[in-house]
Structure 1
Amino acid sequence: MLHHSVGISARHNLICSLQSMSLSNMTTSPSLSLPTPKSPTLSTDLDPLRKRTHPRRFINALTCSLDEFPSDGSVRHYAILSHCWVPGQEVSYQEMLELSRDDTHPSRAKFGFQKISNACAQALQDGHHYIWVDTCCIDDGNHAHKSQDINSMFDYYANSDVCYVYLHDIHRKGLHSVDTDVDISQSKWFSRGWTLQELVAPSKVKFFTEDWRHYHIDSQRGVSLTEAHRIQGLWGISVEVLTGSRKLQDIGLKERMSWSIKRSTTVEEDRAYCLLGLLGVVMETRDREGVESAFGRLSSVLYEAYGHEMREYIGPGKAGNGRALMQFMESTYNENKALTFKYMKRSNGPCQLTRIWPDSASYML
């Protein structure tokens, strides 16, 4: 059943009441201590390869504005949002700065700002004063910081208290519909490149449908066993990883690579960048460098970090060869898919295991 059923129209009223309650609690509870944000300044931290364990800026869920924390780890407890970007509707870092000073700013009418507002309301309801949202917490105008954030993003999700996954394309059939009426695995979110790390990195995940109702599953990872088998059949990610019973560090490099090959990104070189945290490597990002160049540089850092495995997988002398890496990853996907099992329901007996071969596009449960 629904964990709670707060619709979009009620959310904006809820934000105001939660902000009022939270501010009251802050003023009456001397034991509550929050870190002090700093004003945005010209930073000297310009190493694009320096990784952070926690974000440098957050949205203050009370004020729906940005707070800056240059020191790594100043905010230890926070929520984080995972979502699909809607072209032309997301709120950028610069817009977020502007609308916090202007109640009539046109960006407030964007779907992306409604998404941020609802995420803030959910964070407050769960007791979190800070939330990180990639669209406005990453400054696209600062190359060094953007590169740091992209290289650190896996850690941002892994170190969060909870990840809210907003599925804007999954709709309820009615106010009283139950979770079994919805198949979240059909969301576009599961096919995107960046959302792979956002699925496997956090320790706690909550899924929300289009109207911001919690898709409630009695699981820390937010995915039921049934859905985990569906997702495994579609994308090859093991059920054990999806349900949290197997740690990501126990998964081999080759298998982790296979999870990403059929996923898409808006910017082609992001197909390489979105793998950095998942594969445990660091690489400077370059705007509009092209997918083969990005995979070529990724190949070089992988050979440096995993020399023995990479020579075994692709061969010696292939470091820096982006095409060879992409071809190898394609083969790992087919190999992993061929070894994936699926459950098929039978009307007169227990489920049977059936092997999925690479030319099989269907998945039944």
Structure 2
Amino acid sequence: MRLLDTATLDFAEFSGAIPKYAILSHRWGKIEVSYKQLRQRPVLQDSPGLAKIEEFCRLAAGRSIRWAWIDTCCIDKRNSAELSEAIMSMYKWYEFSAECYVHLADFEISSRELSLKNQSAESFWHIPEGWPSIRDSFSKSSWFTRGWTLQELIASSKVVFYDSHWNEIAPLKQVYRDVAEVTRIGENWLVEDARHASVATRMSWASCRETELGEDMACCLLGFCNVNMPPMYGEGGEIAFYRLQTEIMKTSDDESLFAWTSDQGGSGLLAAHLSYFANSGGITMETHAGSESRPPYHMTNKRLEIAIPKKDFKLFSEGDGTVRFFLRCSRASNINAQKCDKAFYIELSLLMGQRSAIRTECAELKETGKYLIGQLDTDLAHNERIYIFSPGSEV
């Protein structure tokens, strides 16, 4: 890992034991200083990118932290192997940082508000001209809309917010309710390991965010989803997102991966776009006590082979040509809850014969009239393999 000395702005390489370091979370500006530029000094002294690095390092040094990491200059982006490694290691680097400073370049605390905050930190959060008056502009910062900043918020153990002039706003623990409201992340997941949330819930947090490159929307979720996947720029965002979902299936039994909705008909079980998870917040993965997982999925370039209980297959394939695929997940009673209520199911339309299908009704997730996840284990002891095709593939 390459770190920046906060006193000298010199780089140092570390492997094995990594020293205590601060890390920056920010939106890139029009002019940033690269690794090459910072090494080949002097750089332009009036560069906003250099000013950002200097202020960040000054802040870290003032908090007795010698080393710092910032993505603009601590990665040599000319080296494709190094860039790929950095993308796959990003979550871990934020997770292991001592402190993460969030720089909101489009948010500013006025001198009056700053004075009130410094005079009485306790009353500032309650008086009308204090925090209540600036909460709305804080929540409108573009930092809350970017794909990469989600993992930076979630992974870091200690997050502190700063305004455009590097005035401290507050640590996350003081404003977590406001952050939860704007990000739609349950308050509990801002203080716990958010990777314990279901896949669908985590996807929902990212569903309204954006990245400059389509492929980055999948890349910025790698550590967040506990997978490793080399980035392939040029493949397009949709293919990258499909790859991410197939990688998740290799290591996870979380069937909430299939719990998404869309107004587009004719689909497989994997979502074509992250936005399909916009209404999947609060979905909880559930396993019955002593239960066994569903028989393994088999994914090819055209189809997903999955097990469905024979009784459901026979009951619903005769007559209307549909099969119900019950998922081991349900909607919690509220966004902060983890307890399941009713289980979800998806209806699949048979294509040809009784072993091939496609999901055509994608507009909603249907719920059972009663809790049945425990019964599903018994049913799966007698199952059929069914092939779910992706759009455009030959059946």
Of 90, 95, 102, the match for 1:165: 102
Runs of 4+ in 1 over 4 A off after TM superposition: 310-314, 337-342
What CA RMSD, in Å, does the superposition of the two structures yield over aligned residues? 2.6
Other-structure match for 2:164: 210
* 1:292 corresponds to which of 238, 242, 248: 238
Match of 1:247 among 183, 193, 200: 193
User: Aligned in 2, Cα 1:279/1:296: closer, same or farther, shift over 3 Å?
Assistant: same
Q: Which has the larger radius of gyration?
A: 2
CA 225–268 in structure 1, closer or farther in 2 if over 3 Å, else same: closer
Q: Matched residue of 1:326: which SS?
A: coil
Cα offset, 1:308, TM superposition:
5.8
The answer to whether residue 74 in structure 2 is matched with residue 142 in structure 1 is no
Matches of 1:135 and 1:125 in 2, distance apart?
A: 21
Is 1:238 the counterpart of 2:238? The answer is no
- Aligned residue number for residue 90 of structure 1: 32
> 2:194 matched to 1:257?
no
Deviations 1:237-292 (A, max 9, x none): 111122x1x32243112211111011011112101100001000001112332112
| Conserved 8 A contact 1:59-1:67 | yes
Q: TM-score, normalised by structure 2?
A: 0.62
The 1:295/1:267 distance shift into structure 2, 3 A limit, reads same
1:237 counterpart letter in structure 2: I
Change (3 A) 1:130 1:163: same
Provide the C-alpha distance between the structure 1 equivalents of 2:174 and 2:19, rounded to a whole number of angstroms.
25
The sequence identity of aligned pairs, in percent, is 32
| 1:76 lines up with 2:9 in the alignment | no
Query: Is the alpha carbon distance of 1:63 and 1:252 closer, same or farther for their aligned partners in structure 2, counting shifts above 3 Å?
Result: same
Could you tell me which amino acid in structure 2 is paired with residue 211 of structure 1? H
Q: Cα deviations across residues 328-353 of structure 1 (Å, max 9, x unaligned)? A: x43432132897969xxxxxxxxxxx
Q: Which amino acid aligns with 1:208?
A: Y
Matched residue of 1:145: which SS?
helix
Distance 1:140 1:126, change over 3 A: same
Q: Which amino acid aligns with 2:56?
A: A
Q: Which amino acid aligns with 1:213?
A: N
One-letter code aligned to 1:154: Y
Partners of 2:86 and 2:268 lie apart in 1 by 23
Relative to structure 1, the CA distance from residue 335 to residue 293 in structure 2 (aligned partners, 3 Å threshold; closer, same or farther) is: closer
Give the residue type in structure 1 aligned to 2:3.
F
Per-residue CA deviation, residues 119-161 of structure 1 (Å, 9 max, x unaligned), is: 1001111111000000111111111111111111101001000
2: CA distance, partners of 1:90 / 1:301: 33
Structure with greater proportional strand content: 2
Q: Is residue 306 of structure 1 aligned with residue 252 of structure 2?
A: yes
CA pair 135-311 structure 1, distance change in 2 beyond 3 A: closer
Aligned residue for 2:72, secondary structure, equals: helix
Distance 1:199-1:322 versus aligned 2 partners, 3 A rule: farther
Are residues 1:278 and 2:232 paired? no
Instruction: Answer whether contact 2:245 2:257 (CA < 8 A) is retained.
Output: no
Q: Verify the 8 A CA contact 2:25 2:100 in the aligned structure 1.
A: yes
With 175-184 and 248-257 compared, the bigger mean Cα shift is at 175-184
Offset at residue 186 of structure 1 (A): 1.4
Structure 1 pair 142–199 and aligned structure 2 pair: CA distance change class (3 A):
same
TM-score of the pair, normalised by structure 1? 0.67
Between the aligned partners of 1:66 and 1:192, the Cα distance in structure 2 is 28
Change (3 A) 1:324 1:312: closer
Higher helix share: 1
Structure 1 stretches of 5 or more lacking a match? 1-55, 315-320, 343-357, 359-365
Give the whole-Å Cα distance in 1 for the aligned partners of 2:166 and 2:243: 40
Larger RCO of the pair (alpha carbons < 8 Å, separation 6+): 1
Which runs of 5 or more residues in structure 2 are unaligned? 118-129, 261-266, 283-330, 336-362, 364-395
Contact between 2:198 and 2:254, CA under 8 Å: does it hold in 1?
A: no
- Which of 140, 144, 162 lines up with 1:186 in the alignment? 140
Match of 2:280 among 323, 335, 348: 335
